[in-house]
Amino acid sequence: MQLVCPAGNLPALKAAVDAGADAVYVGLRDQTNARAFPGLNFNDEELRQGIAYAQARLRKVYLALNTYPDSVRLSQWYAAVDKAAELGCDAIIAAEMAVLDYATRRHSQMARHLSVQGSATTAPALRYMHERFGISRAVLPRVLSVQQVERLCEQAPVPIEVFAFGSLCIMVEGRCQLSSYVTGASPNRHGVCSPASFVRWEEHDDGGRSVRLNRVLIDRFEPAEPAGYPTVCKGRFAVGGETFHALEEPTSLNTLELLPRLASAGVAALKIEGRQRGVAYVASVTRTWRDALDRYKVAPDRWKARPEWQAGLAKHAEGHQTTLGPYHRHWH
Amino acid sequence: MHAMKLSLGPLQYFWPRERTLAFYREAAQWPLDIIYLGETVCSKRRELRTQDWIALAAELANSGKQIVLSSLALIEAESELGVLQRLIDQGQGWIEANDLSAVQLCRARGVPFVAGPTLNVYNHRALAMLMEDGLRRWVPGVEQGAVLIDELRAALLEDGGSMPELEVIGFGRLPLSYSARCFTARALDIAKDQCGFRCIDYPDGLPLATREGRPFLRINGIQIQGEEITDLGPELATLRSLGVDVLRLYPQAEGMADIVAHFDLARRAPTAPPRIGARNGYWHGAPGMRSVDLP
């Protein structure tokens, strides 16, 4: 299984490569990708250097072009596809049909991976993308149980990549308008979720804090309580007279213990989430998964998730909590 | 002035069998042009089974309305694909395709389809490609407002294409997101696998408020909706000038006959009707819930 790691800048890309990533995925400094955050991502020169660094070490660089352009902005996405080809990216990761179609027609030699944002959860959906746009890999939304991933690997027309670790979108990717409903800024259209410019923290006299997203109260924290980033899906709300994390707790996905099962299922690549995270995260998480994958390769029958791997990963998780998420039926 | 068509969108909630059948028996008498039938949210909801929906479609076809069978927005299991295949194979009419699986299976069978609001069509090229696949009508996603739709239309015409029928969500709570998780079961602290179909107790969804008591969202099984019932009635003139062909009204538990009558009157009246729901911020290029901040 290939290990695909995130990089939000050139130092993170180098750290991922040095720590053993087989491929690194990156984005440009605009709304063509789903982590369009201020201060993040690559300009042309950085991307050129990043590709040179990775390819000199026989690793790959994928460019995420996985947002949904409207008609007026389509040419900007086309230009990004051209840039990926010109700079020699090993693949683009795209979700939207016009972007995939353009890449297919203009740069047929450049591999096209279907992004998680494409919301394709079934073999027919993948067949559509394969027949229409010749995708050579698909990243699955984080909604399927491990049994469903296994079945899909058998039937899919292309190799499958799944999320292994990182922040957990609990909604079907590409199908979530919660940020958009509150702020007008959407993952699909603008590459952002709950952008920082809409976040307001309020300090209370007792030392507690409240956090609002465009004036909507997402959560309140006691003085000593850890406070996470305010996305709608991880806030606390009142339902039926009780206040709790009505959609999901602040927690991260960690599938380490499923590694043998994903490998047996024929999963082609494991993806680490977190282009918005720093160099330390990328280096540490990549190193752990590299070690885990290497040891599995040497002795699959004797492989066990080591406590020190799990402890290291938990340190990088939201709220220091991890979950198997939708891979495990109980999460549903 | 051509009268805009009125459609009854698929029932998003889970109602008891008799209530559902009675609702549609009444709806057959309402001044609607199109009725969408079927389960779009959760495949475990089986007060009406697939064969029941197909039979209901056949029965309602006699009302002179166009009947369209809607597909699940999120398909995970093979059994759900089997249901989708049966909807497509019934051979009576169009399908509302709410994911790419439905597009692929319709395309393979040559069955015309309506692109539902979760299909993610954001530009004219995607729309043109789906038209090659059999798309006949397009329901834009909830976050697309007047300007985006107008720009798409202009780009499509400039490319030598023509718009399919355009259907806009005119009334109802906006579907905002879908998950593998059932939030109704989570709220009731029960497992999804043993959920007891408790969403049947919430015929308009389960209200979710902020910690300061502001109504915010509705939990509807694996779907999250905005709390506000949006209403584009007062914007009918803009809708007409944009070439909107069909106005979609989502079923609510109470007063649906009056709501349909209100829009039927509005579509034939020269002046805009009074507002009976919330302003839809999205339509004006603002956050969807913008209306809460307005008088």
Q: Which of A125, A148, A215 sits opposite B101 (nearest CB)?
A: A125
Query: What's residue B218's pLDDT?
Result: 98
C-alpha to C-alpha distance for B144 and B121, rounded to whole angstroms: 10
**Cβ atoms of B250 and B280 closer than 8 Å:** no
- B246 close contact with A: CB closer than 8 A: no
- Number of C-beta neighbours around residue B40 at 10 A: 25
- B151 close contact with A: CB closer than 8 A: yes
Query: What's residue A160's pLDDT?
Result: 98
C-alpha to C-alpha distance for A194 and A233, rounded to whole angstroms: 10
C-alpha to C-alpha distance for A187 and A195, rounded to whole angstroms: 10
Taking CB atoms and an 8 Å cutoff, what residues of chain B touch A240? 187-188, 206
Q: What is the mean pLDDT of residues A272-281?
A: 96
Q: Do A217 and B210 touch (CB under 8 A)?
A: yes
Residue A243's SS3 state is strand
pLDDT tens, residue by residue, A112-135:
999 999 999 999 999 999 999 999
C-alpha to C-alpha distance for A224 and A331, rounded to whole angstroms: 28
Strand partners, A221: A209
Band the pLDDT of A321: cuts 50, 70, 90: confident
Considering the four listed CATH numbers 3.40.640.10, 3.40.50.11540, 3.30.70.2390, 3.20.20.70, the one that applies to the domain covering B5-174+228-293 is 3.20.20.70
| CA A74 to chain centroid | 23
Q: Which of the residues B88, B131, B211, B279 would you substitute to probe the A interface, choosing the one with the greatest number of A C-beta atoms within 10 Å?
A: B211
Query: What's residue B291's pLDDT?
Result: 59
**Cβ atoms of A35 and A41 closer than 8 Å:** yes
Taking CB atoms and an 8 Å cutoff, what residues of chain A touch B286? 184
CA angle A80, A81, A82 (to 5 degrees): 90
Band the pLDDT of A24: cuts 50, 70, 90: very high
Question: Chain B closest CA to A292's CA: distance in Å?
Answer: 28
Q: Is position A153 annotated in a ligand binding site? A: no
Taking CB atoms and an 8 Å cutoff, what residues of chain B touch A71? 122-125, 148, 151-152, 154-156
Q: Do A71 and B287 touch (CB under 8 A)?
A: no
Question: Chain A closest CA to B178's CA: distance in Å?
Answer: 5
Amino acid type, B206? L
- Number of C-beta neighbours around residue A240 at 10 A: 13
Taking CB atoms and an 8 Å cutoff, what residues of chain A touch B174? 177, 181
- A71 close contact with B: CB closer than 8 A: yes
Q: How many CB pairs under 8 A join A and B?
A: 210
Q: Which of B183, B191, B211 sits opposite A220 (nearest CB)?
A: B211
**Cβ atoms of A143 and B72 closer than 8 Å:** no
Strands A252-254 and A137-139, how do they pair? unpaired
- Closest Cα partner for A121 from B10, B102, B191, B181? B102
C-alpha to C-alpha distance for A66 and A45, rounded to whole angstroms: 21
Tokens encoding B241: 């000038």
Taking CB atoms and an 8 Å cutoff, what residues of chain A touch B282? 180
C-alpha to C-alpha distance for B123 and A286, rounded to whole angstroms: 37
The secondary structure element, H or E, covering residue A161 is strand A160-167
Q: Which of B120, B187, B289 sits opposite A182 (nearest CB)?
A: B289
Q: Where are the domains of chain A?
A: 2-168+251-331, 182-244
Contacts of B58 (CB under 8 A, 6+ apart): B92
**Cβ atoms of B244 and B166 closer than 8 Å:** yes
Taking CB atoms and an 8 Å cutoff, what residues of chain B touch A248? 181
Q: Which of B151, B212, B285 sits opposite A72 (nearest CB)?
A: B151
Q: Do A243 and B211 touch (CB under 8 A)?
A: yes
Q: Is position A89 annotated in a ligand binding site? A: no
pLDDT of residue A175 exceeding 50, the answer is yes
- Helix segments in A120-210, DSSP class H: 123-133, 146-155, 178-183, 187-190
Percent of chain A with pLDDT over 90: 92
- Closest Cα partner for A100 from A90, A115, A121, A122? A115
Tokens encoding B269: 């009246």
Amino acid type, B113? F
pLDDT tens, residue by residue, A38-75:
999 999 999 999 999 999 999 999 999 999 999 999 99
Q: Do A71 and B104 touch (CB under 8 A)?
A: no
Q: What is the mean pLDDT of residues A277-283?
A: 97
Q: Which of A171, A215, A239 sits opposite B187 (nearest CB)?
A: A239
Question: Chain A closest CA to B169's CA: distance in Å?
Answer: 15
pLDDT tens digits for chain B (295 residues)? 568 999 999 999 999 999 999 999 999 999 999 999 999 999 999 999 999 999 999 999 999 999 999 999 999 999 999 999 999 999 889 999 999 999 999 999 999 999 999 999 999 999 999 999 999 999 999 999 999 999 999 999 999 999 999 999 999 999 999 999 999 999 999 999 899 999 999 999 999 999 999 999 999 999 999 999 999 999 999 999 999 999 999 999 999 999 999 999 999 999 999 999 999 999 999 999 975 454 3
- A302 close contact with B: CB closer than 8 A: no
Query: What's residue B294's pLDDT?
Result: 47
Q: Where are the domains of chain B?
A: 5-174+228-293
- B236 close contact with A: CB closer than 8 A: no
Taking CB atoms and an 8 Å cutoff, what residues of chain B touch A74? 123, 125, 155
A137 backbone dihedrals φ, ψ, rounded to 5°: -160, 155
Q: Which of A143, A219, A220 sits opposite B76 (nearest CB)?
A: A143
Band the pLDDT of A166: cuts 50, 70, 90: very high
State the Cα torsion A312-A146-A22-A121 to the nearest 10°.
Answer: -130
Structure letter (DSSP) for residue A320: G
Taking CB atoms and an 8 Å cutoff, what residues of chain A touch B122? 68-71, 96, 188-189
**Cβ atoms of B251 and B245 closer than 8 Å:** no
Amino acid type, B277? G
Gyration radius from chain A CA atoms: 20
Residues 201-240 of A with CB under 8 A from B: 214-220, 236-240
- Number of C-beta neighbours around residue B186 at 10 A: 22
C-alpha to C-alpha distance for A101 and B152, rounded to whole angstroms: 17
- B89 close contact with A: CB closer than 8 A: no
pTM metric for this prediction = 0.96
State the Cα torsion B99-A184-A71-A105 to the nearest 10°.
Answer: -60
**Cβ atoms of A227 and A318 closer than 8 Å:** no
Fold of A2-168+251-331: TIM Barrel (3.20.20)
C-alpha to C-alpha distance for A119 and B99, rounded to whole angstroms: 8
